[in-house]
Structure 1
Amino acid sequence: MTPVSLPRPPVAGDRDPSRAHWMELFFDLVFVALVGQLAHGLHVHPSFATLAIFVALFASVWWSWVNLTFVVDVSPQLSARRLSIVMLIAMFAVGALAVAAPEAVGDRAWLFAAGNALLRVLLLAVWVRMSWAGGTASRVRILAYNGVTAVIWLVSIALPAPAIFVLWALAIVIEVVLLTVTSGAWSSLALDRMNVEHLSERFGLLVIIVLGESVLSIVAAVSDAWTVAAGVVGALGLLLTAGLAWSFFLYGVEAMTSGLEKLLAAGDARGIRDTVGFLPFLLLAGVTAISGALAEAIAHPGDALPAALAASLGGGIALFYLTNAIIARRYGDPWRRVLRWAVPAVALPALLAVAALWLPAAASVGCGVAILAVVVASSELASRSRRLPDRQGSATIY
């Protein structure tokens, strides 16, 4: 496809496109429910089959969220009212996904498909309004990316398993392939209109939502068990969640903003695609999977975690830091700096995933907290040592 070159649209006068709008935050409320519904299966039936289903469903949900977020990000001309209409329609679609999630591979598969179809139709409408005038190449991509896939999701409603799931996978594969092969052609649109501040804020808010699901699970599990041991493990679970939050919000958000600005300045549309569209899914899936292990540890602190939840605990922490390391490299951080924190941050949780098969669940969560304490402390010391020469240099100059 030939490159798409569209005039930069005027910015709507009643909203700041560099900030998340209140209606986007309102939309996130139903996304909280969806994440909780998806993670519920890990709490009730902790097995590798349940874990695989969770990852697959979360992939489709993540892909819908990132597509919606990106189209809003590159649509500064959307007024507050039009944006509100888009987000309200999206809320009903995501609400359908949330209701369907517990039985998305069973009796409510049709509803899960219908919710995804509605989201594609909504995205199609926004893209048509924004870039239909871009020529034939633009129209073909728009119709294929959201139009064809919307039809596939709709057709799947009438099919039995496993055909319905094959069509779901086909729809997502089509979108991923189209995004991959046409990144160069659409780079001018993305680079000209992309707002780094808005993207960083939206992803930061999504991480809060996912971490919030873990907090809700911890509180609910302690409330159900109501023992001293459950309270202790619950406190450890909150510390573990706080460690992940500390790592992301003190380092990750700022790194994302500066990293995207570097990629934007370099015109690296593929780097933006990877660090916005693909890699954060792994980070969020890892964080969400941890919640099931914490709930089980609170309910049965003296027993070893089931194998799937042991993998979720250690593997989730390892995946969180591994994804951050890959993203840091894509942003241009040198190997030496990345490996300094990434090796222990990934290797130690990976060992925990094995040790948690034999350790009491309470001890496993305690080890997770200790690992995060080491990683966070190391990051703080490294950050302080980097700031010290700057302060000394300033003192010398002035």
Structure 2
Amino acid sequence: MSEPSVGVRRPVWRSAMVGRDPEEGHRAATPLELLFDLCFVVAVAQAAVSLHHALAEAHVGAGLVGYAMVFFAIWWAWMNFTWFASAYDTDDVLYRLLVLVQISSVLILAAGVPRAFEYKDFGLVTLGYVVMRLAMVALWLRAAREDRARRRVALRYALGITVVQAGWIARLALPESTGLASFLVLVAAELATPLWAERSLTTTWHSSHIAERYSLLTIIVLGESILSATVAVQAGLDGEAPTSTMLTIALSGLVIVFSMWWLYFAHPAEKILTSNRVAFPWGYGHYLIFASAAAVGAGLAVSVDHASGKSHLGDFATTTALTAPVAVFVLSLWLVHARPHHPGPLITAAFLAAPVLILATPFTPFPLPLTALIMAALTAASGRGTARTR
């Protein structure tokens, strides 16, 4: 009888939750982690669609703030589980049940996203988020009991997460005028918890496994942007928009998204993830990468709405709704993912010049094709630089 494929294991009722070997060979994402990612993308899609509607209605400021807040909840819950699973994935029955609780909770969060955007009602989003985080507390408490060597680290995580969740619940009772300020305070507390917990001793996360998990979510988020653009173009073609305009948006969008994929995977992350000193800024910086990648889909949808006469935005604001997230993606990708590889002065100059040029395209008659051309040129330059380095 053949052995199960890598990453697929038969769960047992109970196994010891101790730190896994960070040098373990052939460490791959598990089917449960893939299911986890797919369910999180439901929430990402809801956030992107809500951003699209807010921008199309010319509610730019409220839409961007709401998107940043909701996306933080989605990304932070995903990231915390991902790093925990890299160190403590036992894949037994109890572990699976707690992960399924988190998956169910993200669906609750996703259901609350439209209300958060439209009515600034964060009750359902907060409920889903807090339940997810409390499931993580249960996992950390189990790790504290069974991994004696890292008991202090696990207890710090459990305590920090619990205190911050109490803050999120209390925030619902605060007046609306304090909403953004209280959100930023709690975000700072969330971000500080791992830094405090692992100050003296680190968890045994696996660099290749972490790199793969981030790569998989990048692919899924980019795929969501393609889906959003495809649905929008289909709706536009069924309306009265010129076919040539729709084809321009579609082709430009494809080139942009394909270039984003190419640029992200030009540099293998596992080679630089050697310590928490590198891993923390790398992991945290992906908030901008993921959020901007998802926002590109919203920007493409807004462009289609504008071409169809369904948007309240002007020409400049419409094109900026797409070019701005593309520029943020390029710059954040450079700072977080490409720069640590020391690609050389030529590639550095290309990465720094590209966002400036992309942000300038709305001042031209052909902003989307020019943005696509800049992304393609950056991809070509980055590919040549990577080949020379290798």
Taking structure 1 as the reference length, what is the TM-score of the superposition?
0.80
Return the letter of the residue paired with 2:379.
Answer: V
Q: 1:194 Cα deviation (Å)? A: 1.1
Residue 178 of structure 1: aligned partner = 193
| Aligned CA distance change for structure 1 residues 342 and 103 (closer, same or farther; 3 Å) | farther
Which residue of 61, 67, 92 maps to 2:80?
67
Q: 1:74 Cα deviation (Å)? A: 1.0
Distance 2:29 2:97 in 1: 15
1:272 aligns with 2:279: yes
Return the letter of the residue paired with 2:104.
Answer: F
Which residue of 40, 65, 71 maps to 1:52?
65
Return the letter of the residue paired with 2:107.
Answer: G
Deviation digits for residues 111-152 of structure 1 (CA, Å, limit 9, x no counterpart): 111111101111100001012445884465234321112222
Deviation digits for residues 326-374 of structure 1 (CA, Å, limit 9, x no counterpart): 235773x33xx34422332332332332331x445xx211111101111
Q: 1:195 Cα deviation (Å)? A: 1.0
Q: Is the 8 A contact 1:230 1:298 kept in 2?
A: yes
| Aligned CA distance change for structure 1 residues 138 and 112 (closer, same or farther; 3 Å) | same
Distance 1:305 1:239 in 2: 24
Structure 1 unaligned regions, length at least 5: 1-6, 388-398
Distance 1:290 1:220 in 2: 14
Return the letter of the residue paired with 2:100.
Answer: L
Structure 2 unaligned regions, length at least 5: 1-15
1:368 aligns with 2:371: yes
Deviation digits for residues 200-240 of structure 1 (CA, Å, limit 9, x no counterpart): 11101110121012111111111111051213321221121
How big is the alpha-carbon RMSD for the aligned residues of Structure 1 and Structure 2? 3.0
Q: 1:292 Cα deviation (Å)? A: 2.0
Residue 378 of structure 1: aligned partner = 381
| Aligned CA distance change for structure 1 residues 218 and 328 (closer, same or farther; 3 Å) | closer
Secondary structure of 1:19's aligned partner: coil
Q: Is the 8 A contact 1:313 1:353 kept in 2?
A: no
Q: Is the 8 A contact 2:303 2:319 kept in 1?
A: no
Deviation digits for residues 272-298 of structure 1 (CA, Å, limit 9, x no counterpart): 11112x111111122122222211223
Secondary structure of 2:336's aligned partner: helix
Taking structure 2 as the reference length, what is the TM-score of the superposition?
0.82
Secondary structure of 1:355's aligned partner: helix
Distance 1:89 1:8 in 2: 18
Q: 1:155 Cα deviation (Å)? A: 3.3
| Aligned CA distance change for structure 1 residues 296 and 107 (closer, same or farther; 3 Å) | closer
The number of residue pairs the alignment matches comes to: 358
Distance 1:128 1:181 in 2: 17
Q: Is the 8 A contact 2:150 2:201 kept in 1?
A: no
Q: Is the 8 A contact 1:271 1:330 kept in 2?
A: no
Q: Is the 8 A contact 2:108 2:125 kept in 1?
A: yes
Residue 7 of structure 2: aligned partner = none
1:23 aligns with 2:32: yes
Q: Which moved more, 1:149-158 or 1:84-93?
A: 149-158
Q: Is the 8 A contact 2:330 2:354 kept in 1?
A: no
Return the letter of the residue paired with 1:118.
Answer: V
Return the letter of the residue paired with 2:233.
Answer: V
Which residue of 170, 176, 183 maps to 1:155?
170
Distance 2:380 2:338 in 1: 22
Which residue of 281, 286, 295 maps to 1:289?
295
Distance 1:329 1:140 in 2: 34
Distance 1:8 1:99 in 2: 33
Residue 196 of structure 1: aligned partner = 207
Secondary structure of 2:272's aligned partner: helix
Q: Which moved more, 1:148-157 or 1:299-308?
A: 299-308
Distance 2:182 2:221 in 1: 28
Q: 1:100 Cα deviation (Å)? A: 0.6
| Aligned CA distance change for structure 1 residues 345 and 164 (closer, same or farther; 3 Å) | closer
Q: Which moved more, 1:211-220 or 1:316-325?
A: 316-325
Q: Which moved more, 1:117-126 or 1:345-354?
A: 345-354
1:223 aligns with 2:234: yes
| Aligned CA distance change for structure 1 residues 83 and 24 (closer, same or farther; 3 Å) | farther
Residue 391 of structure 1: aligned partner = none
Secondary structure of 1:194's aligned partner: coil
Return the letter of the residue paired with 2:232.
Answer: A
| Aligned CA distance change for structure 1 residues 16 and 30 (closer, same or farther; 3 Å) | farther
Return the letter of the residue paired with 1:110.
Answer: G
